[in-house]
Each structure stands twice: as C-alpha cells, then as structure tokens.
Amino acid sequence: MDYYHTRELLLQKQISCKELVQSYLSRIEQHRHLNAFITIFADEALKRARIIDQKLARGEGGNLAGMVMAIKDILTIKGKRTTCGSRILENFVAPYDATVIQRLQAEDAIFIGKTNMDEFAMGSSNENSYFGPVKNPHDPERIPGGSSGGSAVAVAAGMAATALGTDTGGSIRQPAAMCGIVGLKPTYGRVSRFGLVAFASSLDQIGPMTTTVPDAALLLNIIAGHDPLDSTSAPVPVPDYTKELNKGIRGLRIGYPKEYFSEGLDPEIHQAIRKVLREMESEGAVIEELSLPHTDYAIATYYILATAEASSNLARYDGTRYGFRSEGALDLSEMYCQTRSQGFGEEVKRRIMLGTYVLSAGYYEAYYRKAQKVRTLIKRDFDSAFEKFDCLITPTSPTTAFKIGEKIDDPLQMYLSDIYTISANLTGIPGISVPCGKDSQG
C-alpha cells in the first residue's frame, strides 16, 4: 500500500502506527530468507510508533507520520551500525545522523532497519555483500539488482513502505527495475551527501525507492535542499514536486536515444518501452529519436573515474581508528596490509587496485585525465539533447533479473549491467526508473 492511502487510514483512525510497524515486522520475519536487512530496529520502531500515534491523536504529526522506512546501510544513523555491507565495518557504530536521516525524523518517519547492499555500493547484483546475497522477491533464485538491492526488496516485498538507496552508477534505478518498484536518482547536489559513506564523491547521490511516483515525489520534497555540511549541495530552493504530477503530457517533447535501443538490449524490454512510447504519443506527447554519440565511451569512462575516487575514499580504512583490524601482525605496515586484505571483499579490492593504477604516475594522463575529458563530451551530448527535448526515455537495464551466481565470475559482463544508467551519474542529471511491464517469466 502506498503512503498516501496509509496516511488516510491513520488520520481516520482505522489503523495505528504501532499496528503498521507490527505488520511490517511480521513481513520481515516472513521474508527473512530474502536477506534484505542487515540490522532490524524492532524495539525502537515500536517505541517511535507509539510516540507518533500520540502526536496524531493530538492533531499533530509531520508530513511523513507513520511512513515506515528501510535505510540502506551506507547512511549513518547515530548509535546504529553502519556496515556498508563490509567486514571492515562490521561492528562500526555511527556517531552522528546523516542529514537525510535528520530531515526524515523531523517529519516523523519511522526507521525499521538498515538494508543489505553490495559492499561499499560496488556491484550490480547484491552478491558482493559480506552478509550474503539478497534475493529477488519475485523469484528468490534471481538477483534483485544492486547495489541498493536490500532497499528494493524491502519495498517490493512489503517489508517497508519506502526506502532510501544510493546511486553512483545506477544503484537505485537498476534494482528498482529488477524488483518492479520506483527508484529515483535526484540531480547531483539536490540532496545532501553528509552522512553517506563515500564510494565516488562526484557520482554518489541519495534517493527514494517507493511503490509509487507520488511517494517518491513526497520523499524528495523532504530530503532535498541545501546543507551547509555538504559543500556540493545546491543552494537552490526546493519546489513542491508533488504538485507537478498531474499536469499531463500533452505537448511534452520526449526523445529516445538510438544508442540505447541497439544490440544487447533484451527484445522483451525493447517491446515494452516501445509500447509505452506509443501510449505516450496517443496522449499527446511528441516522440522523436535522437543520438547521444559518446554513449559507447560511458562504461570505460565511468569505471576509470569511479574506481579512482574509490581508491582515494577507501584509503581511510586501515584498522587504526575504527573498523576491523587484523590480529597477529608484526608491524604497522603488515597490519595495514592484512586488515585491508581480510576486511575488503574481492570486488572492492579489484576496484581499489584499478583506481590506484589509473591515478599512478605515468597513467594519470593516459587514463584519468582522458576520462575526465570524455565525461565532458558525454555531458555536452545531454546538454544538446535537452535543448530540444523535455526528457529522455531509455531502458534501465539491458536484461531483466538474472540467476544468482550467473555472472559473478565475469566482472565485465556485470559492469555492462549499468550501461544505460551511468551516464546520468557522469552528467549529474536526475533519473527515475518506473515499471513498464514484466518479461515472459514474470
């Protein structure tokens, strides 16, 4: 059930926040085999529900009163574990709240737990977590997408009304697509990253994962806005996104990039999107093909820049001040080496090594500097497109959810799962994934 209907039931006293939380906790227990959560806040959620019930009885309560949320375990909540799906932070307890957490709490949201994820958000299948893979609620033998797979599954399986995820190269939108929910990556700088454990700082963004677009718009209203604690957050007023939802699409100029509908796209996905385009055209939208000529360079560009930033951001995890520390080392250098070797998973170590390589002397100009230049070319492609079009429609993923273990030993194939989503991160533009059908296997 979406939050707008839930709120009506709460205001009409047909259900209480406590009963809502109890029902979600029951669903979490029922679907424990999906492995969506790392930490569950049962007692705290029930306590907060009772407080919000009292506020609603007095005619008070914030804009999110009674919204039961799951939080990706890469966002800090004071006094709670923030593991990032990694052994190296398995028992790390956050000393402060992320800005988005503060804003949600101020509007009386209820947090029910921290969700499983690919380690440090590095992955497209949620198979890279130290806490085990997450399973798709529609078919537990298949992946849910990643890296925000736990958040997507929590919403899709009814274990939370909504969730927060993070998106560095598609990590909100791709799992949303594979689990059949809505996933929104806001414009870079629209939402504060303070309290988000960094993967790639110029690409990371926090966004909502919901069952409906109105719920996503409502959450964006709350979490968006300038934050003096994040120098990259935009000092731009936040509009009421919910008021933009019922304007209709007559006259809207919609482009579909030909590079996104070429070889490699599942025919069933292609057909589903074509059907949507025809329906939009019948509603009065203007549909045209366009070209984004530098699309073919996006994957290489992304994996150079993202890994370079990751190698820098993850240098702080050495076992000295917090997190996992290897035992038995004879000196400091050996302790660093053993801690990072044992504390990080294979995919994280692969990306740290690649990032270190492209930043090293002799390769910085050949790889990192060139990737930044290509990033600019990709951004110019999109700038030109938006001079003519109001929005673009593309697939979210080249395939639907594949079997767990099917691609885990082929990192290049796994990286290609992000081919349609990474450009939004490279250019800083917003992107949203909405369901438009199912494949022949459901």
72 is catalytic: yes
Residue carrying the six token digits 């025919």: 267
Burial environment of residue 363 by CB neighbours within 10 A (0 to 12, 13 to 18, 19 or more): middle
Q: Measure the CA–CA gap between 128 and 348, rounded to whole angstroms.
A: 9
Q: Identify the CA nearest to 226 among candidates 190, 187, 186.
A: 190
147 is catalytic: yes
Q: Measure the CA–CA gap between 213 and 258, rounded to whole angstroms.
A: 26
Q: Measure the CA–CA gap between 189 and 231, rounded to whole angstroms.
A: 9
Secondary structure of residue 110 in the 3-state scheme: strand
Q: How many CB atoms lie within 10 A of CB 356?
A: 16
Q: Identify the CA nearest to 320 among candidates 342, 340, 344.
A: 340
Which is catalytic among the residues 86, 125, 148, 171? 171
- For the chain, the distance separating the N- and C-terminal CA atoms, rounded to the nearest angstrom, is 21
Which is catalytic among the residues 72, 80, 114, 407? 72
> What single string gives the DSSP state of each residue in 378-418?
HHHHHHHHHHH-SEE---S-SSSPPBTTSSTT-HHHHHGGG
Q: Report whether 46 contacts 113 (CB < 8 A).
A: no
Which is catalytic among the residues 86, 124, 129, 147? 147
Which residues does 367 contact at the CB level (< 8 Å), separation at least 6? 304, 357, 358
Cα–Cα–Cα angle for 188, 37, 177, rounded to 5 degrees:
50
**Active-site residue list:** 72, 147, 171
